[in-house]
Structure 1
Amino acid sequence: MNFKIGIDIGSTTVKTVVLNDKGDMVFRAYERHFSKVREKAAEQLRSALHILADQRVTTVITGSAGLGVAKASGIRFVQEVYATASAVREYIPDTDAVIELGGEDAKIIFFGRSLEERMNGSCAGGTGAFIDQMATLLNVSIQELDELSLKHEKIYPIASRCGVFAKSDIQPILNQGGRREDIAASIFQAVVDQTVAGLTQGRELAGKIVFLGGPLTFLLGLRQRFIETLELDGEHAVFPENADCFAALGAALTTEDKDATTFEEMLRLLESAVDASHLTDVMEPLFRSQEEYDEFAARHAKATPDTIDPETYAGDAWLGIDAGSTTTKLVLIAENGGILYSYYASNKGDPVSIVKKELQNIYARFGGRVAIRGSAVTGYGEDLIKNAFGVDIGLVETMAHFRAARHFDGGVDFILDIGGQDVKCFKIHGGAIDSIMLNEACSSGCGSFIETFAKALGYNIADFARLGLFDPKPVNLGSRCTVFMNSSVKQAQKEGASVEAISAGLSISIVKNAVYKVIRAASADDLGQNIVVQGGTFLNDAVLRGFEREIGRNVTRPTIAGLMGAYGAALTARDAGAASSTLLDSAALGLFTHSSKPVTCQGCTNHCSMTVNTFDGGRRYISGNRCSKPLGLQKSTEPNLMKYKYDRLRAMSGKGEGDGSRGKIGIPFGLNMYENLPFWFEFFTRLNFEVVLSPESSRSLYIKGQRTIPSDTVCYPAKLMHGHIEHLCDMGVETIFYPCMPYNFDEGRSDNNYNCPVVAYYPELLAANMPRLKNVRFLNPYFGLHKKKGFITRSGEYFAENFNIPKSETKKAALAAYGAYDTYKNDIIAEGAKAIKYARDTGKRIIVVAGRPYHIDPEINHGIDELITSFGLVLVTEDAVSHILGKESRRVLNQWTYQARMYNAARYVTTQPDMQLIQLVSFGCGTDAITTDELRSILEGGGKLYTQIKIDDINNLGAVRIRLRSLIAAMESREKESA
């Protein structure tokens, strides 16, 4: 008998299938390999020895991590898409499409006249690895995550592009009391959204769809989300038997008799490949000897708090709590700063229960001999914990960490704090924070980065970190983000890298990401002379050693590096000098209760997904709201030019001064229309068209068009355009106007006046990828408004040809439209001047928000404008002040109108003592890779702080709130210093 063996070696699992000569499956195995890919494959085959001993076999290897094993062993390899397609054609021949999710791979295969496959690139956003990360975040097993999802009541919008983005959405929901059942289902929905939006790329999923891969085999909640989203019935959603091993099954089907050999010979070839290693890119070891490590450890043991005996101490104490993104830390200090009690552990998705338990432990241990005179809380969960337990002070993380660092080094001039998801860097000048840098939504230089890999390889993070300390040849994995790093790790595994070498390489990568991606340091002198490092990640000696080696100098790491936020909070509480604390005492804690429920606010069009936390005595804390309406508070009345502009533009719908006799013309409200709508509205209504504006952007509008988005990396404002077009079609609009605009108006402040390629040419992309546009009259001509005579001539010809409108009438409408545009721009300048005068009359600080015109869309900015004004700040946009200064040469090619406005606004801000600038950047914006550095140079060169906020479909403002509060704290520090 000749047996056929298929081995599928994926990114996280090994699957082995054995077929007899009748095609019956006589053996199958599915196991995680924890990076031991060759060993696990050989182990699975040895377990089939009772079937295959002394038999002839033909073997084929497939899978994303299988090629290296195939090459090392000499066993034939087949590409996994081909293997999967072979199995589908054999067992389910009438299949129209396959959706397959693996550990780090996601595929959609379309069947038809020819095979067409769509596969994720280096991003593992919608895969099993993503689900693993999210389960870890919730501190549950994969099976428990699935069970939770089946009990959900609502779905939160969660970014799905990768685990890092998703954590930015999930963690604040957890810290604010969101139900884990709802979060679990939302995680699965994020996987569905990523698969549909990221892989269909404009092609419709229809007919019989077969679902394959481990996640879709074992996770019923994930299946449910796919079925509901794609609106499939039992006949068209197929979950076949052995769906988790289909690629291995297909590999077995592609074996050829000429490759037959004995099972023992094949096993020998595979086992001989286990020890094969040919690493090509290695680095110097972190430590060459135990003595070298001992000297390093002794040096860093010196930065420690004063000693105190907690068993005998009696007197006053102060409590600090750091409710972080993934961990909760508590520190109780004595008057000399000595630590009486500390706690550091995962918040397990329930920081309230953790804090309650630890407070009970403190009261039980210290009884009446210690009196807590003050308390302070910082971190993502600050507001929730403060409201729950009556904590005296809430302070922003940056100030808490600065206070702690100053305790250990009074001359500290640079602080680098690396936490679970955050990198915070502070430059200190004259005893005050002078510059703040935070990572964006990416946590590639953070603790969760290495923790993810440690757990994927079967280790806890402490053991994993120790593995790499003395490895002689750490693998050079570069400085890439978590999901891209998966590819580097897989390549190292293929080359035979040990887990020790990978551990050391990852620790060094964290450092490189922090130094070169967040700090962007050219040399150690860019950091400072007295550097304090802190955060739980720096408790990892491999990371600390890598950092000192990378910058070429020694730094201070306090022995309580992971507790610095809580320690700084405790010191702040002590410095406040209060005689008593409002913290719940032991008796009140005994009556403490907490429950939470999700609600959707109907107070305005934002429809915020909120969490209502209820405590004993009817106390409540509401989180997730973008405005103060659900809290029963008065909405901020501070001037807000983003809202002013948005409301003006949304009103531009209808017949205007015309009579609508030429019918309706639909205009999608996005991208270049945020700049040019005043022009087009006036133009069309003067021509007696009725303008039908697409509705306000929303998550549901985005989902409506997501199947037609051909690129997952384009910015969110562009992705929204698909939904706007779909909605106009749903409204029955027969003519849609959306022109290509290579040039914007020439404002005389730049080298040229281009629009960015996405803004300029997106109508072409929509026409090519949205089938419904073939059923309407879609007008996407090339127009240039920057040359008035040229436009009048071109538009006269175009509208005469398409609508039989006399050229004289078109010219008249065009002249009126230019006037309307000028009026709109002048109104913004006047409103800005009015807002600035108000701020100065009332002593308010002014924030100039610089971004693209479409960043005023509430769905795109997620309410950042209302958050800014809620802090009592006056908000002015860049186009209200960019006209004040004339043209100035820049270090970069200044050829975009929008960017030129930002540069000029930044120059003006440096001349105004009461102004700071915040730059809004969309993920996926290529041109802003240039503007961010140039704006930083302008602002810091003029003595101002540079603050950047990246926005995408992530809609939780937790990280943005920290950034804004840090900016405000830095402004206050500077004002005190100059006073």
Structure 2
Amino acid sequence: MRLSIGIDIGSTTVKIAVMEGSRILFTHYERHMSQVRTKTLEILEKVKALVGDEEFTVSISGSAGLGLANSANVSFVQEVFATEKAVRLLLGDVDIVVELGGEDAKILFLTGGVEERMNGTCAGGTGSFIDQMAVLLNLSPDEMDKQGLAAERLYPIASRCGVFAKSDIQPLLNQNADKRDISASIFHAVVEQTITGLARGRQLTGKIAFLGGPIHFFDCLKKQFKETLALSDENAVFPEYDLFFVAAGAAIYAKESGTALTYNSLAERLKNAAADTGHNTYMRPLFETEEEYQAFSARHQKAAVEFADLSEYKGDAYLGIDCGSTTVKLVLTDSDNRILYSYYSSNKGNPLEAVKKCLLEIYSLCEDRVTIRGSAATGYGESLMVNAFGVDFGLVETMAHFKATSFFRPDVDFIIDIGGQDIKCFKIKNGAIDNIMLNEACSSGCGSFIETFAKSMGYDAEEFAKLGIFAKHPVDLGSRCTVFMNSSVKQSQKDGASIHDISAGLSVSVVKNALYKVIRAKSADDLGNQIVVQGGTFYNDAVLRSFEREIGKEVTRPTIAGLMGAFGAALYAKEQGKAQSSISPKEELENFVNTTKEAVCGGCTNKCRLTVNTFSGGRKFISGNRCETPLKTAAQKDLPNAYQYKRSLFDEEKAKIKPGTRGKIGMPYALNIMELYPFWTAFFAELGIEVVFSEPTTRKTYELGRDTIPSDTVCYPAKLVHGAISELIHRGIDTIFYPCMSYNLDEEKGDNHFNCPVVAYYPELIAANMPAVKSVRFLYPYLGIDHPDTFPKQMMKCLAEVYPDIKRAEVKRAAKKAYAAIGAYREKVREFGRRGIAYAEEHDLPIIVLAGRPYHIDPEINHGIDRLVSSLGVVVLSDDSVCDFVSPPKVSVLNQWTYHSRLYSAAKFCAQSERANFVQLVSFGCGIDAVTTDECRSILEREDKLYTQIKIDEINNSGAVKIRLRSLLCAIEQKTEVKPK
């Protein structure tokens, strides 16, 4: 047989290659829009003239090809195997292959032993990720590519998931950052994900071939790969048929082991396979009859607000603006709280233009008959609105939503607001917010989750939502993240589910994600009896019906569910009783101009890169700052901040280190060393050894060591160790000391005093995964500092080979000084806690105990959260500054970790204090903190105190953090008389 055909059916496209020997005769590439069999048959027709009646061999490959190959009884070849065959035949001397597809990504190492690495559960860093980000920027993918090529700076953006990335990009859009820079940053994030998520510690060097649609179509992505990996033109290979290597590999495989067929027989097999259906799990319909739906709709029309005609109204009015993550909402109310004007739409990546357009429309309708007495803004873009348009008040969105809810249901027990990317849940007790729950990083229970699927299937969100209302057989898709769900949706389509069934199934999934992943409800009783739902997602009757059915209760959905934030802001503006709003008049809006420039803040060590927006009338808005430092006046002073104090102690310790008679020894300033440094500096100083710590960590520290990180899910503090070690080696330090320690010092607060596995044994991982440590003396002994009697012997054994002249008596003296130094350090921290409490009492200020791990004091890890808290008028203390002021609490878990036991004691301190409140910092990837979060919450809630958790990783999302902290302070203000100054 002369010809062979390879068909590559990927997650989003079908590719075909016809080969004669090693020559490619024909190729074709097309998106299948989930219609896999239909599209494959269409494309196959294009080769009919080429093959005629001649028999050929054929093989199918690709992530979505196996099912079709099996049902059509056609040979299948795994795509990595196919890629390798094509690369070896068509390219020859290539060391590494990087291939990005629609949802699949893989790296094939050909030199030094063949190995392939593929993405498993995440489609971050693939074509679908890029498509989603283009939609968010309101650009076509091609436009985003062109914009990125003209960029001048890069922002750190997560790429492991579209949800994380949206959380990083939306604040940039709301701050009016340049879309050229955001576009380039998105492509750079794809490269970062390839290095950290796929390579996972194996270095990308040598001659690298880049394949797949995203790399083929996006020149900015090619540029970012070359620059980030520092590849020469010779080592960066972008082949002519880069889209078709899997298809070509399948054709090569077909020549050897494929199925021999003619065109007609292959087409017949595929047509017959198209009728084959799978075994979806279906649920009962959301509504059995039209009458049932009508009764449901009528019930939910009762929670309504009155509307009035603005074109005829005369009198006072109050404006509320809700600038959310993906949408802009405006409400204008009269003195009787009737709505005169409302607006709800996507911000299309430009919230300023959307709001300006609405304000001009309002002025046109008002003429001279209406006076706007007050205005308030809420949401992610709150500060932008206040500064750009002179809005009178800024209101944290949790309070705005609570105010609006109370208007409809004063006796509300529970509020759940599902927006585009955010879920906000409030428990209400005695007319005040008692607990706040927000989604951390996953928006699979949000509106954008459904919107993404709607667009991928050619529908708008509203149209798609209606399809599910009368679906006969809603498909059970489970409650999983968007990436998993993408695969489930595609599979259910292949198995015969209709669009209607999928729409209904997704609505059920949204509800399950919200209930069981965000709220983590054990039963419907956890939500109370009077439940109000709001947010644009609940306009979807299928979602609302699914929610009521899942909890087994009827709920209240206001008819303005999507406008509740704006309506609450308008109510707040009215309460403030201003005589005249300072919002920009019509003439100023018509000449509204916004200019931006970049700057770097020198107010603290964060060195934030700022975007300075200047608006008409000279108003300015500074964004990008992690705290309020660039906005402070000289009269404002810093409040007690335990994190800042602990950082200053380290600076003082470093300044005291003197050159040693026995030379230098390096230590990474990371993980537990950030707390134990007084111990080690005192110990080595006594021995005449100068300790050299790695420099304060920055994003560059992470980038310096990222190519040796073997796990993309380990916590960010651990990832930074790689960069800290690299930095020491680059500075010429030839001896590095980083001990393994199963145990911490025994603080007598728990059942045991272990270090967590990452802290305890990360030196072992460094030794195994960082080739550079083989060029120096890397000392990583197992030590037990919890046993002062045996510690000198252990250290003597470790140091003898490097320092043969050291005597046992010297080591004993050094150990004695080390234990005294760490004891003195801990007393200083406790004393600061006492002073901080006294200061708060004297000045009537609230306290937030920012509880976490010792390494959470690092500004690169906490992203300046401690300074942000302080800037809100709060005294900041750490868990170790207060944990000794109470007896250890009784807990319901095995209390065997030193850092955990501190958290529990700090939570008890806050539970017993009228002034102190607890905020826990948790690193993504910290598995054992799953235990601490529930236990700390339990300790606090037993005393009717609020629990707040902030998850942090390498990406800075200060906007969401600030909303959470302000929400906490507002809730505290409602419950107590202690108010931030």
SS at match of 2:329: strand
After superposition, the C-alpha distances for 1:792-834 in whole angstroms (9 at most, x for unaligned) are 2222333234422111100000000000000000110001100
- Tell me, yes or no, if structure 1 residue 387 matches structure 2 residue 387: yes
What is the match of residue 151 of structure 1? Answer: 150
CA distances 1:207-240 after superposition (whole Å, capped 9, x unpaired): 2111000000000011111111111121111111
User: What residue is the counterpart of 2:131 in the other structure?
Assistant: 132
**CA spacing shift, 1:76–1:527, aligned 2, 3 Å:** same
CA deviation after TM superposition for structure 1 residue 977, in Å: 12
The alpha-carbon deviation at position 782 of structure 1 amounts to 0.4
Secondary structure of 2:823's partner?
Answer: helix
Equivalence for 1:959: 960
Contact 1:178–1:598 under 8 Å retained in 2: no
Equivalent-residue separation in structure 1 for 2:53 and 2:294 (angstroms): 55
Deviates more, 1:153-162 or 1:755-764: 153-162
The residue aligned with 2:199 is 200
Q: Is the 8 A contact 1:122 1:487 kept in 2?
A: no
Q: What whole-Å deviation, never above 9, does each CA across 1:90-120 have from its counterpart, x for those lacking one?
A: 1101111111111111111111254211111
Note if contact 1:159-1:190 (Cα within 8 Å) is conserved in structure 2.
yes
The Cα offsets for residues 384-439 of structure 1, whole Å up to 9 and x where unpaired, read as 11101000111000010011111111211110000111110011111111111111
1:664–1:689: 8 Å Cα contact kept in structure 2? yes
Query: 1:261, CA displacement in angstroms?
Result: 1.2
Residue identity over aligned pairs, in percent, reads 57
Deviations 1:725-752 (A, max 9, x none): 1100000000000000110111111111
Rounded Cα–Cα distance in structure 2 between residues aligned with 1:568 and 1:15: 52
What is the CA RMSD across the aligned residues, in angstroms?
1.7
Q: Deviations over 1:561-595 (max 9, x none)?
A: 11111111111112222211001111221221112
Q: Say if 1:969 and 1:113 are closer, same or farther in 2 by CA, change over 3 A.
A: closer
Deviation at 1:552, TM superposition (A): 0.6
Displacement after TM superposition at 1:957 (Å): 0.3
1:532-547 alignment runs, 5 A limit: 532-547=532-547
Q: Is 2:573 the partner of 1:573?
A: yes
Distance 1:603 1:827, change over 3 A: closer
Map of 2:474 onto structure 1: 474
SS in 1 for 2:356: helix
Equivalent residue, structure 2, for 1:672: 672
- What is the distance in 2 between the residues matched to 1:457 and 1:795? 65
Please state if 1:342 is matched with 2:342.
yes
State the AA in 2 paired with 1:288: E
Q: Distance in 2 between matches of 1:35 and 1:650?
A: 58
SS for the counterpart of 2:299 is: helix
Deviates more, 1:162-171 or 1:863-872: 162-171
Matches within 5 A, 1:56-205: 56-112=55-111, 114-205=113-204
- Specify the SS of the correspondent of 1:330: strand
Q: Deviations over 1:260-319 (max 9, x none)?
A: 111111111112222321224222222222222222122112222113233322221111
Give the conservation status (yes or no) of the 8 Å contact 2:97–2:109. yes
Three-state SS of the structure 2 residue aligned to 1:883 is helix
Give the distance between the partners of 1:384 and 1:861, measured in 2 at CA.
24
Task: Find out whether 1:718 has 2:706 as its counterpart.
Answer: no
Cα 1:508–1:650 change in 2 (3 A) is farther
Counterpart in the other structure of 1:903:
904
Deviation per CA, 1:314-335: give whole Å up to 9, x if none.
Answer: 2211111000011111111122
Q: Displacement, 1:558? A: 1.2
Name the SS for the 1:966 alignment partner.
helix
Q: CA deviation at 1:655?
A: 6.7
Is structure 2 residue 433 aligned with structure 1 residue 443?
no
Distance in 2 (CA, whole Å) between partners of 1:413 and 1:977 is 24
- Where do residues 252-267 of structure 1 align in structure 2 (5 Å cutoff)? 252-256=251-255, 259-267=259-267
Partner letter of residue 535 of structure 2? G
Match of 1:637 in 2: 638
Query: After superposition, where does 1:585-604 map in structure 2 within 5 Å?
Result: 585-604=585-604
> CA separation in 2, counterparts of 1:28 and 1:975?
70
3-state SS in 2 of match to 1:260:
strand
Question: After the TM superposition, which residues 298-697 of structure 1 pair with which residues of structure 2 at under 5 Å, given as runs?
Answer: 298-631=298-631, 633-634=633-634, 636-653=637-654, 656=657, 660-697=660-697
**Equivalent residues of 2:280, 2:497 under 8 A apart:** no
Equivalent-residue separation in structure 2 for 1:486 and 1:680 (angstroms): 51
The one-character-per-residue Cα deviations of 1:350-385 (angstroms, maximum 9, x if unpaired) are 111111111111111221122211111000000011
Q: Does 1:818 align with 2:814?
A: no
Looking at structure 2, the residues matched to 284 and 622 of structure 1 have their Cα atoms a distance apart, in angstroms, of 52
Residues in 2 aligned to 1:814 and 1:318: alpha-carbon distance in whole angstroms: 69
Aligned to 1:627, the other structure's residue is in SS state coil
CA distance in 2: counterparts of 1:178 and 1:244, whole angstroms: 33
Contact 1:53 1:264 (C-alpha < 8 Å) held by counterparts: no
Q: Structure 1 residues 55 and 334, CA, compared in 2 at 3 Å: closer, same or farther? A: farther
How far did residue 641 of structure 1 move? 0.2
Task: Decide which moves more: 493-502 or 621-630.
Answer: 493-502
How far did residue 48 of structure 1 move?
Answer: 3.1
Question: Following the alignment from structure 2 to structure 1, what is the Cα–Cα distance between the partners of residues 784 and 470?
Answer: 63
Q: Is 1:800–2:800 an aligned residue pair? A: yes
Matches of 2:892 and 2:73 in 1, distance apart?
A: 55
Measured in 2, the distance between the counterparts of 1:665 and 1:650 equals: 18
Correspondence for 1:859: 860
Question: Once the 2 structures are TM-superposed, how far is the Cα of residue 2 of structure 1 from its aligned partner?
Answer: 4.2
1:39 equivalent in structure 2: 38
Q: Distance in 2 between matches of 1:504 and 1:261?
A: 41
Change (3 A) 1:597 1:276: farther
2 CA distance for matches of 1:30 and 1:193?
27
Q: In the alignment, which residue of structure 2 is the partner of 1:974?
A: 975
Give the C-alpha shift of residue 600 in structure 1: 3.4
Task: Note the 1:819-838 alignment, pairs <5 A.
Answer: 819-838=820-839
Higher mean C-alpha displacement, 968-977 vs 675-684 = 968-977
Q: Distance in 2 between matches of 1:769 and 1:491?
A: 38
CA offsets 1:894-920 (integer angstroms, 9 cap, x no match): 110001000011111111101110000
Give distance in 2, aligned partners of 1:474 and 1:676. 57
- Secondary structure at the counterpart of residue 244 of structure 1: coil
TM-score of the superposed pair, with normalisation by structure 1: 0.98
Q: Is the 8 A contact 2:671 2:759 kept in 1?
A: yes
Residue 2 to residue 268, structure 1, CA distance change in 2 (3 Å): farther
Whether the 8 Å CA contact 2:95–2:208 is kept in 1: the answer is yes
Asked if the contact 1:687/1:813 (under 8 Å) is kept, the reply is yes
Question: SS of 1:849's equivalent?
Answer: strand
Q: Is the 8 A contact 1:80 1:247 kept in 2?
A: yes
Using the TM superposition, give the Cα deviation of residue 604 of structure 1 relative to its aligned residue in structure 2, in angstroms.
Answer: 4.1
Secondary structure of 2:478 counterpart: coil
1:700-738 Cα deviation digits (max 9, x unpaired) = 110011000000000000001100011000000000000
Kindly indicate whether the alpha-carbon contact (under 8 Å) linking 1:655 and 1:685 is maintained by their aligned counterparts in 2. Answer: no
Aligned with 2:123: secondary structure?
A: coil
- Greater shift in the superposed pair: 355-364 or 39-48: 39-48
Runs of 5+ unmatched residues, structure 1? none
Match of 1:848 in 2: 849
Render the CA deviation track for 1:820-858: whole Å, top value 9, x for unaligned. 000000110001100110110010111111101100000
What's the secondary structure of 2:459's corresponding residue? coil
The TM-score with structure 2 as length reference comes to 0.97
Specify every segment of 5 or more residues in structure 2 that has no aligned partner in the other structure, as ranges: none
Q: Which moved more, 1:598-607 or 1:146-155?
A: 598-607
Cα distance in structure 2, aligned partners of 1:458 and 1:24: 37
Number of equivalences: 976
Contact kept? 2:469, 2:504, Cα under 8 Å: yes
For residues 286 and 27 of structure 2, the distance between their equivalents in structure 1, rounded to whole angstroms, comes to 42
How many Å separate the matches in 1 of 2:647 and 2:837? 19
User: Secondary structure at 1:161's aligned position in 2?
Assistant: coil
Q: Distance in 2 between matches of 1:354 and 1:765?
A: 51
